[in-house]
Amino acid sequence: MEWFWPEGFYTIVMVGVFAVASFAFKQPIAVALAIAAIIGALVSGNGVPIDHLIEGSFGYLDTILIIFCAMIFMKTVQHIGLMESVAAWMIRKFRVLPFRLTMGITVLLMIPGMITGSSSAAVLTAGAIVTPTLLKLGVPPVKAAAAIALAAIYGMIAPPINIPAMIIGGGIDMPYVGFGIPLLICTVPLAIFTGMLLIFPSLKQHAAEVGPGTDDSELEEELTRMSRVPLTVRLMLPFFVLVVLLGGERLFPQYAPSLGMPLAFLLAAASGLLVGRDWKPFEAATEAIQAALPVAGILVGVGMFIQIMTMTGVRGFFVVSALALPAWLLYVGIATSLPLFGAVSAYGSATVLGVPFLLALLGRDEIVVGAALSLIAGLGDLMPPTALAGLFAAQVVGVKNYFSVLKVCLLPAVVTAIWGIMIILGANWL
């Protein structure tokens, strides 16, 4: 009966308008969120509260700055040729050691997502670089696409940048501090499991077939193209600078200056000017801003949506409804509704459902629970119709039917949801 309360009606209206605007009218997610926020305010009798909309749009300004600066760093690394050189070196060194190569490729696929907080960025950078060699190493295209999509999602959830966790924490004024180890617990076992399931068997078979007289000229030609820029210590300078700036602040807070993540990423990107490579910084920065704008737009819309949810009482209604659920049904709801709602956006799922679920689980360690909820919400990037990580991975690999990729992803996705629920149940122990 509570759905007949005013807040329940506002909830149906806001979520319904969001779904209709994004699915039926094909509006960008950011625009759909803003429209839903405005309609929610109108239906609740608050008119168009410009002050609340502006305040909400700036709610994730810190996160937006981090995304822009992290993307500039990632494009710098791509333009100087570091990513391709590292991939070529790793494949040459471990091509007959399938386990090490599997782990190395998985980490390489995760790194862009870890730095930018975007699974799409991971697929379109590291995924595009690794795809040709994966196929030449004998990995079937469908499994390669699934492995790239899942590794990109785990990278998006892994530290240091996890936007869904930032959104969930921001919903209850919890700072993004102390998430590093919980997020590693969430993602590392799953990344190993997925790599061993989808990549390792093919690499093992390829390693067994490679011998002294084996002609592997196609792979060698691809590796030669990728390693046209020699991998040197000087070329790796941007990563060294980033590790020093971010790691020093955490390990030696009394000595290292607190620069903040945006400035740390910009300084690390600027060090790319010293690697001795001829590249175009302005072009790299322009590409980075263009790539980050859609994500930034979503966060502006998310901020508006949360602000109006709070003003109209919808946010509190979600919490009360979640608290009223039996414990077993609450966990079933978390494992199913977060990924399904994430079909529109993992960020939207973290906004609309992640925050209420975290408030409903306040008896457990908030940081660990927030990390686990962000992991489950991240699965939304596999769910059609948007399926950002999955569709991009299929396009990069050349698989026309995305549902064949989704079918391969189902087992790892179910394991991911179960692992997230287990982490929530053991949050206080962890």
Predicted pLDDT at 359: 84
- Per residue in 352-363, pLDDT (tens digit) is 788 888 988 888
Report residue 286 CA to chain centroid gap: 22
- What average pLDDT does this structure show over 364-392? 89
Predicted pLDDT at 189: 97
Asked which of 160-174, 218-232, 233-247, 369-383 is least confident by mean pLDDT, the reply is: 218-232
Predicted pLDDT at 416: 97
- Per residue in 279-323, pLDDT (tens digit) is 899 999 999 999 888 888 888 888 898 889 889 888 777 777 777
Q: Compute the C-alpha angle 7/11/12, nearest 5°.
A: 120
| DSSP symbol at 362 | T
Say which residues have a Cβ less than 8 Å from residue 114's Cβ, sequence separation at least 6: 155, 156, 158, 159, 160, 161
Predicted pLDDT at 1: 43
Tokens coding 21: 């605007």
The letter for the amino acid at 399 is: V
pLDDT band at 125 (very low <50, low <70, confident <90, very high): confident
Q: How far apart are CA 297 and CA 346, in angstroms?
A: 14
**End-to-end alpha-carbon separation of the chain, Å?**
38
Say which residues have a Cβ less than 8 Å from residue 217's Cβ, sequence separation at least 6: none
pLDDT band at 375 (very low <50, low <70, confident <90, very high): very high
- What average pLDDT does this structure show over 100-123? 90
pLDDT band at 214 (very low <50, low <70, confident <90, very high): low
pLDDT band at 250 (very low <50, low <70, confident <90, very high): low
Predicted pLDDT at 414: 96
- What average pLDDT does this structure show over 269-275? 93
The model's pTM: 0.83
pLDDT band at 3 (very low <50, low <70, confident <90, very high): very low
Residue 269 has pLDDT above 90, yes or no: yes
pLDDT band at 72 (very low <50, low <70, confident <90, very high): very high
